[in-house]
């Protein structure tokens, strides 16, 4: 069953912190169990590495005999972590659009993994250098590059183009983004204080709020107006449009081809 899209309120600023947090809360509550199931699958996948280590008798200690095995385990763990990161970005965007989400949606973006890996590698070097340079440049870089992953997943950009696009949409909103980061941190702390279980909804709320922030900043950055996609329509809405001949013929033909 397709759910209605939760609208993001328009403001004079590039985005409103309370609006995106509210959007994160609403979607998390309305889709809590599907999202929990997806996180459960992710947890099982992430558990494969420590399970394999246990079966092979590898306890994590650095010795001359297991250096190669340790490097292999770290590489596999990094691949899994990055796959889950970009997969959850896809899930959050789908939830924001009112689309039905399944566990396999978290792994449909694996083809973007090399691009995302390149972005993570480059951005973390730059951010580390920024923190070495009196901390403030590092904060600015971390805030400004945080949406590059969404451009890779949704717009299929390369790593450098995604970093530039993320920087551009953050222009004029960095103080608000810092405030959002502080509130997100507070939500995480409160969540984990609730017997650790609250950390799960806290993660979901912050993740969807971050996706909503990306969409709002994108919509309010003029040079990226052509990249904005119309919201997804439910099957019933599409059928009604076709029935009343109000859907453009070329789009109707395209819709028929996809089916």
Our CA dihedral for 215, 23, 147, 104, rounded to 10 degrees, sits at -100
pLDDT in tens, 47-101: 777 776 666 655 555 555 566 777 777 788 888 889 999 999 999 999 999 999 9
pLDDT in tens, 4-63: 444 444 445 789 999 999 999 999 999 999 999 999 888 888 777 777 666 665 555 555
Q: What number of other Cβ atoms are within 10 A of residue 20's Cβ?
A: 28
From residue 249, how far is each of 108, 145, 230, 233 by CA, in Å?
30, 40, 17, 17
| Mean pLDDT score, 130-144 | 93
Q: Which long-range contacts (CB under 8 A, 24 or more apart) does 182-186 make?
A: 183/17, 183/21, 184/209, 184/210
Q: What pLDDT score was predicted for residue 201?
A: 92
Our CA dihedral for 107, 112, 115, 118, rounded to 10 degrees, sits at 10
Task: Give me the percent of the chain exceeding a pLDDT of 70.
Answer: 74
Number of separate domains in the chain: 2
- Cα angle 128, 134, 140 (rounded to 5 degrees) comes to 60
Domain hosting residue 63, numbered range: 17-228
Note whether 164 and 250 are same-domain residues.
no
How is residue 169 written in tokens? Answer: 């949409």
Q: Taking 90 as the threshold, does the pLDDT of residue 158 lie above it? A: yes
Note whether 105 and 199 are same-domain residues.
yes
Note whether 105 and 159 are same-domain residues.
yes
> How far apart are alpha carbons 38 and 56 in whole angstroms?
28
Note whether 250 and 127 are same-domain residues.
no
Q: What pLDDT score was predicted for residue 249?
A: 47
| Mean pLDDT score, 130-141 | 92
Note whether 136 and 248 are same-domain residues.
no
């Amino acid at each position: 069953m397709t759910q209605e899209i939760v609208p993001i309120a328009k403001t004079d600023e590039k985005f409103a912190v309370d609006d995106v947090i509210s959007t994160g809360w609403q979607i998390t509550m309305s889709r809590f169990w599907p999202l929990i199931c997806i996180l459960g699958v992710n947890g099982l996948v992430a558990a494969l590495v420590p399970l394999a280590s246990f079966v092979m008798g590898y306890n994590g200690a650095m010795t001359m005999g297991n250096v190669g095995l340790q490097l292999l385990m770290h590489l596999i763990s990094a691949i899994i972590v990055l796959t889950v990161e970009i997969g959850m970005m896809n899930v959050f965007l789908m939830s924001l659009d009112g689309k039905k989400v399944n566990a396999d949606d978290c792994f449909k973006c694996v083809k973007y993994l090399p691009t995302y890996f390149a972005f993570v590698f480059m951005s973390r070097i730059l951010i580390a250098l920024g923190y070495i340079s009196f901390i403030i440049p590092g904060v600015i870089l971390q805030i400004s590059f945080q949406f590059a992953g969404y451009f890779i997943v949704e717009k299929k950009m390369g790593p450098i183009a995604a970093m530039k696009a993320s920087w551009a949409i953050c222009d004029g909103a960095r103080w608000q983004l810092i405030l959002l980061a502080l509130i997100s941190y507070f939500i995480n702390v409160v969540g984990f204080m609730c017997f650790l279980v609250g950390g799960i909804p806290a993660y979901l709320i912050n993740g969807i709020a971050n996706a909503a922030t990306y969409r709002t900043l994108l919509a309010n950055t003029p040079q990226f107006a052509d990249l904005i996609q119309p919201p997804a329509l439910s099957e019933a809405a599409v059928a009604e449009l076709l029935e009343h001949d109000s859907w453009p013929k070329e789009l109707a033909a395209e819709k028929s081809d996809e089916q």
